[in-house]
Amino acid sequence: MPFVRVWVHLIWSTKNREKMISSELRNTLLDHIKSNSKIKEIWIDTINCISDHIHILVSLKADQSISKTVMLIKGESSFWVNKNKLTRTKFEWQDEYFAISVSESIVSKVRSYIRNQEEHHHKKSFSEEYDDLMKRYQNTVAAI
């Protein structure tokens, strides 16, 4: 049996970056995503969200792809929120997502970053964070 540990930091927002995740919904949503992911054999190491986006650190198995993992989490969680009428209007995730590989050597830093989202976003909005990430990693890719 192969040993595979591929860490991926996933980020996506609510549709149109609307502030749909209330403080009341937050813990229920995160708990649901964690429990449903266990059923689907998606290993979530760390997860957190604020009103308009979510961060998840996953470790993929040999037979899991990033796109399938994201699709399973996003699709099922939005379906569940709407089925249970947990928001006043239809809950949707944005189609796009951000996925970046994480070196084993910085996993603890990424965990800390995800856990401290509320504090982090007092200083920087999600739009600013996303733009910074895109600039940082697009420049890296272009340099290769």
Domains of the chain in start order, with CATH, are: 6-143 (3.30.70.1290)
| pLDDT at 139 > cutoff 60 | no
- Predicted confidence (pLDDT) per residue in 61-90, tens digit: 999 999 999 999 999 999 999 999 999 999
pLDDT for the residue numbered 2: 78
- Determine the 3-state secondary structure of 48 from DSSP: strand
Take residue 122 and report the two structure tokens written for it: 């007092």
- Determine the 3-state secondary structure of 101 from DSSP: strand
Alpha-carbon distance of 20 to 91, in angstroms, equals 7
pLDDT for the residue numbered 37: 97
Task: Give the β-pairing of 6-13 and 53-60.
Answer: antiparallel
Whether residue 62 contacts residue 4, with contact meaning beta carbons closer than 8 Å, is answered with: yes
pTM: 0.85
Tell me the sheet residues that pair with 56.
10, 47
- Predicted confidence (pLDDT) per residue in 95-130, tens digit: 999 999 999 999 999 999 999 887 755 566 666 666
Arithmetic mean of pLDDT over the chain: 88
Strands in 6-13's sheet, in edge-to-edge order, are 43-50, 53-60, 6-13, 98-102
- Predicted confidence (pLDDT) per residue in 23-52, tens digit: 999 999 999 999 999 999 999 999 999 999
